[in-house]
Each structure stands twice: as C-alpha cells, then as structure tokens.
Amino acid sequence: MFIDIAKIKVSGGHGGKGCVSFLREKYKPFGGPDGGPGGNGGSVIIKADKNIATLADYFYQPICHADKGVNGGSNNKFGANGSDKILPVPVGTVVKDKFTQKIIADLDEAEKEVVVAKGGRGGKGNSYFKSSTNRTPRFAQPGEEGEEKELELELKILADIGLVGFPNAGKSTLISGITHAHSKIASYPFTTRQPILGLLEFPDFSTAVIADIPGLLEGAHKNVGLGHKFLRHVERCSILVVLLDMAGVDNRKPWDDYKILLNELSCYNEELGARTKIVVANKMDLPAAEENYIKFKEKYSELEVLQISALEGIGFEMLFEEFQKSLKHVVNSASAAKT
C-alpha cells in the first residue's frame, strides 16, 4: 500500500542513572566513593533509504523509542550507551514538526539523515562529586529524559519526468507503453490513485525515472479532487509532461485543459509554472484529434506540441528524443547555476 504521509511520535532514550557506591576491599576499608556514571540514552535518527518506497511502516506503527542508557556501576564502571533508533524512510521524505509545520529536514538524497530526538545524558556517579569538603558523597545524578517530539513525515517522490494531465488523458497508457511499469488502465476517471514510477531506457543506455501523477481537476490547488495529495509530488519532478486528450473523449476542450493545468500548477507553486514543460497531444489516432489539434495550435501557436498515440505506440521515438534533450538542458542549467 502506498502511503505518503505519516504522523509519528518519537522519543530519545532516558539516560542511565549514576551509581552510589563505596569501595570496600580487604586492604581498603575506606576506599571512598566509586560509583560510575550512567550511559547516554540513544537518539532517534531518520535516514533516507533508496530501498524504501512508502511510509506505511510508520502509518501503522507511529510510536518509536530509542534505547535507554544503562545505569552506572560500582568500581567506577560506566553504564553502556543506549542504541540509536534509525528509522529508514524513502528518499524525498520531508520531516516536519506536527504542530508548527516547520520543516526539520528534507531528505532528498540517499543516506541523508537527521537526528530528530536526542537521547538524555547519563547521570554522574557519586565518585564525580568527591571533594575535599565532601569525601563521602551519598548521592548521584539521575539520567536525563530523552527528547520527545511529534512529527509529520511527508513523501514527495523524486522523478526526472512527471506526467500531469486530466483524468483519462492517457497517462497510465503512456507510462505502460514506454516503461515496464504496470499502471491500472480503464475507461473511467481516477484509475490511478497513487503515483507510479517507471524507468525510461534511452538508446544511448542512459536512464531516467518517470512518474505517472494521478489526474488533476480544476481547483486542485484548493485541494479539489485528489488535490494537494498528489500536487506535492509534482514539485520533485525536473521536467513536466503536460499530456492532453486531443480527441476530447470526455467532451473537454484540450485548449481549456491546458490553460487549467497551467493555472493549477502556478497557483499551487509559482515555480512550477516556470518549470520546463513538454506539451504532448495524445490520442491522435482518433478522428476528432486532428481538428482539435489545429484549433489548439491556433490558440497556442508559440508552443511546440508533440503528437502521439499512447495506445498505438505512435510518436514514441520523437517523445524520447525530446525527453533526452530537455533533461540535458535541465542538467546544464543546474550546473551553470552552481558555478
């Protein structure tokens, strides 16, 4: 089951208690205090793991504790530190404070990690408090409590290319046709209810990850339909493919669809409106598509529109070339920005 939001409660381990002890040996009847310190409590660490794909584990088990520190012992023995609790999450997980929604960490790279709840320090034993004025201290420190926090984990999938469009635009058919991903395909809206990832393999043996984002509706930025639940995944895609049903199978006008989709993306996040986009006219094998395509070009003459049929596999070679060209442009732009 794909779960992209989970609310969890984490707590660091309690520090171990310091020990109150006095040395008693055969030839040292008054050896003095020898109580050792307790160990530190373990911390809770959230770590991005490329082998994890969902937050389901934390949806069903939302409480996570790190181990306690071991109490100190006599003869100045140190208590062992508690083990850290490492919580593996998918790459692309954003860690937020549940109440303030402040972002604590954005784990957008594999192996990236953040300590979200520190363990408590171990208490000092009575040997630490020995002094010239207090040669037999009979007290030690209790260990400190570990931090407790309530967090919200939000997964935003990472993909090179994201397919966006209205329900029934043909996104699932397209991703199934150009990758080995198996997305549910049917003639009714919202057959895809969770993002589907596929791997594109280009002729030069390079690869790219493409995501089938479930269909958007007008008002999605206001959380209409699947709204924010899937718009957030679009934020992580380097390139957006705006897929249009050029045949108007659901009695929609492709030029209206295009205008609405751009508006929804811009209203949700202004940066998305300026992101690299590839406009694709799908279902060009159907009779009404050619006429609608001509009308679309009259309204958006400045746009370069690729014509395909995802069902028939028409135009895929041209589409792959455009994917590669756009990805190279994005990489070059990012490199130039860094320098």
Distance CA 189, CA 221 (A): 19
Q: Check: CB of residue 216 under 8 Å from CB of residue 336.
A: no
Residues with Cβ within 8 Å of 97's Cβ and at least 6 positions away in sequence, in order, are 104, 149, 150, 151, 152
Please give the share of the chain, as a percent, with pLDDT higher than 70.
89
C-alpha angle 148/152/157, rounded to 5°? 140
Give the model's confidence band at 188: pLDDT under 50 very low, under 70 low, under 90 confident, else very high: very low
Regarding whether 111 and 33 lie in a shared domain, the answer is yes
Regarding whether 163 and 290 lie in a shared domain, the answer is yes
Give the model's confidence band at 339: pLDDT under 50 very low, under 70 low, under 90 confident, else very high: low
Q: What residues are paired with 307 via a beta bridge? A: 281
Between strands 103-107 and 277-282, the pairing is unpaired
Regarding whether 96 and 216 lie in a shared domain, the answer is no
Regarding whether 235 and 211 lie in a shared domain, the answer is yes
Is residue 186 predicted with pLDDT exceeding 70? no
CATH number, residue 61? 2.70.210.12
- Specify the pLDDT at position 52: 87
Q: Final residue of a domain: which of 132, 155, 178? A: 155
Is residue 118 predicted with pLDDT exceeding 80? yes
Average pLDDT for residues 304-318, to the nearest whole number?
94
- Specify the pLDDT at position 14: 97
- Specify the pLDDT at position 220: 46
CA 261, 158, 181, 4 dihedral sign is: negative
Closest CA to 193 of 162, 167, 156: 167
pLDDT digits (tens, 9 = 90+) for 16-50: 999 999 998 877 777 789 999 999 999 999 999 98
**Extended beta strands in the chain, E state:** 5-11, 44-49, 63-65, 85-90, 93-97, 103-107, 113-117, 148-155, 159-164, 196-201, 207-212, 237-245, 277-282, 305-307
Regarding whether 278 and 139 lie in a shared domain, the answer is no
Regarding whether 192 and 137 lie in a shared domain, the answer is no
- Specify the pLDDT at position 335: 67
Distance CA 152, CA 149 (A): 10
Q: Check: CB of residue 16 under 8 Å from CB of residue 72.
A: yes
- Specify the pLDDT at position 183: 53
Distance CA 312, CA 150 (A): 50
- Specify the pLDDT at position 218: 61
Name the domain count of the chain: 2
Closest CA to 102 of 152, 54, 58: 152
pLDDT digits (tens, 9 = 90+) for 224-264: 444 446 677 788 888 999 999 999 988 889 999 999 988 88
- Specify the pLDDT at position 2: 62
Q: What is the 3-state secondary structure (H, E, C) of 231-259?
A: HHHHCCEEEEEEEEECCCCCCCCHHHHHH
Q: In what helix (H) or strand (E) does residue 175 lie, and over which residues does it extend?
A: helix 171-178
Is residue 187 predicted with pLDDT exceeding 70? no
Regarding whether 193 and 138 lie in a shared domain, the answer is no
Q: Final residue of a domain: which of 99, 128, 155? A: 155
Residue that has been written with the tokens 């295009």 in this structure: 258
Closest CA to 268 of 153, 164, 198: 164
Regarding whether 185 and 151 lie in a shared domain, the answer is no
Residue that has been written with the tokens 């919580």 in this structure: 87
- Specify the pLDDT at position 95: 97
Q: Final residue of a domain: which of 155, 182, 215? A: 155
Question: How many CB atoms are located within 10 Å of the residue 320 CB?
Answer: 16
CATH number, residue 288? 3.40.50.300
Burial zone of 115 (CB within 10 Å; 0-12 exposed, 13-18 middle, 19+ buried):
middle
Answer left, alpha or beta for residue 168, where phi above 0 means left and psi between -120 and 50 means alpha.
Answer: left
Distance CA 297, CA 282 (A): 14
Regarding whether 248 and 305 lie in a shared domain, the answer is yes
Regarding whether 318 and 193 lie in a shared domain, the answer is yes
Domain, as residue range, for 183: 159-338
Between strands 63-65 and 85-90, the pairing is unpaired
CA distance to 32, 48, 139, 312, per residue, from 78 (Å): 17, 33, 16, 71
Regarding whether 181 and 119 lie in a shared domain, the answer is no
Is residue 190 predicted with pLDDT exceeding 50? no
- Specify the pLDDT at position 269: 82
pLDDT digits (tens, 9 = 90+) for 71-87: 999 999 999 999 999 99
Regarding whether 163 and 140 lie in a shared domain, the answer is no
Burial zone of 298 (CB within 10 Å; 0-12 exposed, 13-18 middle, 19+ buried):
exposed
Average model confidence (pLDDT) for the chain? 87
